[in-house]
Amino acid sequence: TYVIKADSIKAHVKSTMYGIFFEDINMAADGGVYAELVKNRSFEFIPNLMGWTELNKSGEGNVEVINRAKERPENPHFITVNVKSGQYGLANEGFRGMGIKKGETYSFSVLARQHTGSKATLAVELKNAKGVVIGRGELKPDATDWKRYSVKFTAAATEEKGSLTLWAKNTGAIDLDMVSLFPEHTWKNRPGGLRADLVQKLADLKPGFLRFPGGCIVEGRELANRYQWKKSIGDIDKRENIINRWNMEFKHRLTTDYYQTFGLGFMEYFLTAEDIGAEPLPILNCGMACQFNTGQLAPMDELDPYLQDALDLIEFANGSSDTKWGKLRISLGHAKPFNLKLMGVGNEQWGEQYIERWKVFEKAIKAKYPYMKLVSSVGPDPDGEKFTFLNTTFRGLNADILDEHYYRSPQWFLDNVKRYDNYDRKGPKIFAGEYAAQSVAIASPDNKNNWQCAMSEAAFMTGLERNADVVNMASYAPLFAHVDGWQWTPDLIWFNNLGSYATPNYYVQQLYSLNKGTDVVPLTLNQAAVTGQDGAFASAVLDANTNELVIKFINTAKAAASVNFVVKGKKINSAGTITTLQNGDLAAVNSFSNMNAVSPKKQGIAVVSNNIKTVLKPYSFNVIRVKM
């Protein structure tokens, strides 16, 4: 018998619970949520024709890569296609192919310039994997100055691994840059926007916050390739491409073609956060490159540009038209401030070097924007020396929010459900910023998003919920992974070029988020919190918005659990609902061929004299809601 004291509020659940961690890892941005289909559209990847193949058909010609670094340092390369006779072509392979949908309208655009005296035209062909044309358009770029040209056409067939061919026809020479292909239908139908199906999955989480842009890419392997938000806004042809920190050979998986084009930049992140009702949480580089790689440091007397980026970002997000950066935001189409209140200083940094840089940021940001709450990293290892040092130091410095990361075994998650029970209630708040149960070992390519991992996360999260006065934010990581281009597993959402599926872990996050309630109330067994007795983990909240009691109960045992929840202090209705996420096989996973192997099922549940008596399945996560 479990007792719930519905009239005894223990803590308030913050609106920021539960959120999203977004990083451009596993092709999450380029080749993923950013709907651009052309890979290396501005010829900045190395080699410059990566993703492109030259096609010579009934004629002679060639392609030259031109570097105009002096004139356009942020977008130095373009190509000249010379057609000596007939036509000369180039094919683009897309990001592991191009996902094309029958009946969808595609918008092709290019920056082009004719050489004097030439009259080259451009034919565009969309092809399926067998080379059959499934969409076509034609352009006649006539100007000898750079100009954007575009054409729309409808695809005649669906194809996961399509490609795009350009034919330059008529004798002459034509310069091309920013070769682009987008579906018309994007998230909110914004031209050149985001994949609607993938953003919808984020919206369906009803997240409390959106953390961006990472992760290690904030830091870069070296400082030159850190994420710089100012280079990620405005005209897309002026956003300087860099190599992605996750461009790598990972245990024989090749993603050595991974670059950041910043089509998904800070403006798009802020807009997405606003669209899905999440608080924006940008993480900024604090003068430290990834300490797992070069660990380069900006000298203390050269920290200014890093700090200025942080200060200017707050002005960009919140400033009025009287401010330089506020004016820029308004000119980009967003008059209303984004109401930024949270910012992370550094990602997974450690050591004295972090502390001294953090102090500079903290002092300057708080002096100018006292309302800002700063997120500080306490390192990648929740039990190690780095964590102890940072945790103690930041507590001494009265830091606002500490960002803890844990990629551990399912058993660790079960064993650590009481992790926050004894945290200092008056100290910094906790952001469980990156966590995921690893079925094999951290970053093993054999890790699976299986039910055992998801269930252990659900059990652990009862501890986050019970400690809502300390734990204010939490996010699973990483978020997205392309089935043909990932570096890290497990991940919350898997996608290909045409669609996506939610993992059991996604449904756990979603059930928590949709049922986060507003106030924690005690749920006990023999007057103790339910933290693993007979494999049971449980917590309860009230939802003041709907006037409901919400119970979460995870049965990690292989036998069914006969339970009786006795609700005291408030009268509850005679019927409610129970949503169950369950599978008898701990190894069960969702996949493209079986998307709902582990997915929530909802049904009614009876209440007799304020008692909810039921039998909960083995290996199950249950959410009961009853009106009061």
When the beta carbons of 22 and 306 are compared against ligand AHR, the nearer one is 22
Q: For residue 604, what is the DSSP state?
A: E
Under a CB-based contact definition with an 8 Å cutoff, are residues 186 and 196 in contact?
Answer: yes
User: Does residue 216 interact with ligand AHR by CB under 6 A?
Assistant: yes
User: How many CA atoms does the CB half-sphere of 553 hold within 13 Å?
Assistant: 33
Instruction: Give the full edge-to-edge strand order of the sheet including 373-377.
Output: 20-21, 209-212, 279-284, 342-345, 373-377, 401-408, 429-437, 471-476
Binding mask 485-504 for ligand AHR (x = CB under 6 A): ---x----------------
Closest separation between CB of residue 25 and ligand AHR, Å? 6
**Segment 334 to 353, residues that bind ligand AHR, using CB under 6 A:** 347-348
User: Does residue 478 interact with ligand AHR by CB under 6 A?
Assistant: yes
User: Does residue 78 interact with ligand AHR by CB under 6 A?
Assistant: no
Q: Where are the beta strands (DSSP E) in 226-365?
A: 242-243, 248-250, 253-255, 259-260, 279-284, 342-345
Closest separation between CB of residue 22 and ligand AHR, Å? 10
User: Does residue 479 interact with ligand AHR by CB under 6 A?
Assistant: no
Binding window for ligand AHR (CB under 6 A); candidates: 61-69, 211-219, 462-470, 493-501:
211-219
Under a CB-based contact definition with an 8 Å cutoff, are residues 536 and 414 in contact?
Answer: no
User: Does residue 404 interact with ligand AHR by CB under 6 A?
Assistant: no
When the beta carbons of 83 and 283 are compared against ligand AHR, the nearer one is 283
Ranges of H-type helices in 256-303: 266-275
Number of H helices, E strands in the chain: 9, 38
User: Does residue 282 interact with ligand AHR by CB under 6 A?
Assistant: no
Q: Are strands 87-92 and 159-169 parallel, antiparallel or unpaired?
A: antiparallel
Closest separation between CB of residue 244 and ligand AHR, Å? 11
Binding window for ligand AHR (CB under 6 A); candidates: 40-48, 179-187, 212-220, 503-511:
212-220
Tell me how far the alpha carbon of residue 568 is from its chain's centroid.
Answer: 41
Instruction: Provide the β-strand partners of residue 548.
Output: 543, 627
Interatomic CA distance for residues 154 and 134, integer angstroms? 8
Binding window for ligand AHR (CB under 6 A); candidates: 185-193, 208-216, 467-475, 533-541:
208-216
Closest separation between CB of residue 478 and ligand AHR, Å? 4
When the beta carbons of 232 and 620 are compared against ligand AHR, the nearer one is 232
When the beta carbons of 287 and 478 are compared against ligand AHR, the nearer one is 478
Binding mask 296-335 for ligand AHR (x = CB under 6 A): ----------------------------------------
Nearest Cα neighbor of 512 from 480, 539, 546 is 539
User: Does residue 381 interact with ligand AHR by CB under 6 A?
Assistant: no
Interatomic CA distance for residues 560 and 543, integer angstroms? 28
Q: Which residue has the tokens 């949270």?
A: 342
Nearest Cα neighbor of 262 from 285, 230, 284 is 230
Instruction: Give the full edge-to-edge strand order of the sheet including 523-525.
Output: 528-529, 523-525, 2-5, 561-568, 611-616
When the beta carbons of 347 and 582 are compared against ligand AHR, the nearer one is 347
Nearest Cα neighbor of 400 from 380, 378, 379, 373 is 373
Q: For residue 13, what is the DSSP state?
A: P
When the beta carbons of 270 and 488 are compared against ligand AHR, the nearer one is 488
User: What tokens appear for 394 in the block?
Assistant: 């930041």
User: Does residue 380 interact with ligand AHR by CB under 6 A?
Assistant: yes
Binding window for ligand AHR (CB under 6 A); candidates: 165-173, 214-222, 334-342, 564-572:
214-222
348 among known catalytic residues: yes
When the beta carbons of 196 and 290 are compared against ligand AHR, the nearer one is 290
Q: Which residue has the tokens 């239908």?
A: 185
Interaxial angle between packed helices 385-396 and 352-368, expressed in degrees from 0 to 180 and rounded to the nearest 10: 30
When the beta carbons of 87 and 487 are compared against ligand AHR, the nearer one is 487
User: Does residue 477 interact with ligand AHR by CB under 6 A?
Assistant: yes
User: Does residue 215 interact with ligand AHR by CB under 6 A?
Assistant: yes
Closest separation between CB of residue 441 and ligand AHR, Å? 14
User: What tokens appear for 287 in the block?
Assistant: 């003068």
When the beta carbons of 135 and 490 are compared against ligand AHR, the nearer one is 490
User: Does residue 619 interact with ligand AHR by CB under 6 A?
Assistant: no
- Site size toward ligand AHR (CB under 6 A) is 12
Task: Determine the residue type at 29.
Answer: A
Closest separation between CB of residue 617 and ligand AHR, Å? 32
Q: Would you list the DSSP string of 75-132? A: S-EEEEEEESSSEEEEEE-BTTBEEE-TT-EEEEEEEEEEPTT---EEEEEEE-TTS-
Near ligand AHR by CB under 6 A: residue from 6, 14, 18, 23: 23
- Catalytic residue of the set 348, 404, 434, 548: 348
User: Does residue 471 interact with ligand AHR by CB under 6 A?
Assistant: no
User: Does residue 25 interact with ligand AHR by CB under 6 A?
Assistant: yes
User: Which residue is at the shortest CB distance from ligand AHR?
Assistant: 215
Query: HEC profile for 222-249?
Result: CHHHCCCHHHHCCCHHHCCCEECCCCEE
The CA–CA distances, whole Å, from 593 to 101, 484, 499 equal 19, 16, 12
Closest separation between CB of residue 350 and ligand AHR, Å? 12
Binding mask 432-451 for ligand AHR (x = CB under 6 A): --x-----------------
Interacting residue ranges for ligand AHR, rule: CB under 6 A: 23, 25, 214-216, 347-348, 380, 434, 477-478, 488
* Residues annotated catalytic, as ranges: 348
